[in-house]
Structure 1
Amino acid sequence: MKRNRLTDALRTSVLAERVVEEIVDQLIASWESLPRDGHHVLSLQVELLASLEHELSPQAREVLSGVNSSGKAAKLARQLCVMQASPASVPMKQAAIKAAKGRLTRADRSLSATGGWFRESVILRDILRVHTPCSRSLTRQSSDDVCSKSELWRDQLHLTLANSEEP
């Protein structure tokens, strides 16, 4: 598959942009030198990072900072190296919210299909990254205790997602 066609196919949503940006970043970080048609990948990364108000990882930046040639790829490499992340990036927040909503939906489906309280509580704990005494090993707690906590976590997440408006 040609890289320019691949770049066109990968533009769909903010969450997809975030996932693709991370994949492309890892691809760039794995290069030993710029590939012949690398400008297609680099131009996609410029668009994604600009759209997400984000920046390259240090590993990818290190690879691209060593480019000393001229041409499209070198120009894009230099452009990528100077891009800086916005601390209050709305698109990055939107991507995180979409990911959380998707995980919550899957957790709700899983609970409905299996009635599995343990799996839901683990998924919701992971989503919220709760680091409190109640996030200790769930096997030491009664199933009723875990169920009530997972319902509380789910309600808190629903409230958080409902209050966060996507522009």
Structure 2
Amino acid sequence: MADQTSDDEVFDFANVEFTREDLVSALNDMVKEYRKLSHSFEEVKAENSDMKNSSAEPSAVELGEADSLKIELSKLTAEELLIEESSELKAEIVTLNDLVSSWNKSSRSLHKLQESQKSVYDRTGLGFNNSENSEGETSTQSQPAYDKFNKMSFVKANVI
């Protein structure tokens, strides 16, 4: 429609001074203006429809992106947890390796100690009789201690 604030385009149809040609011309102008406005309205309507469709698509896209971001975030969180657990396991492995290493050292020391000891069937040395008189006899005590024990005498005390 025409701008109503402009005096040139506002017609007073009650005025008798208008001729038929003026009225037809005004009607034609109004039809042209209607077509322009209708075309503009259709364009705006189509644009609005596109915006609704495109705003629905970004929403779906945004939702898809949000879902994929959530998935990525959960993957990163899981990865961080795995890295942390891996670090803890590595520290535990180092501790266990140290423990096993100390056990191996202890085992080697025990083996060396056992190698340096006499065998079970070796009857020479402290605690055994080496004299030719008592061959075949073994004692769990050394000879001086054995002699001392035999020479001791026990006295019974009188208790009143």
TM-score of the pair, normalised by structure 1? 0.18
Structure label with greater radius of gyration:
2
More helix by share: 1
TM-score w.r.t. the length of structure 2 is 0.18
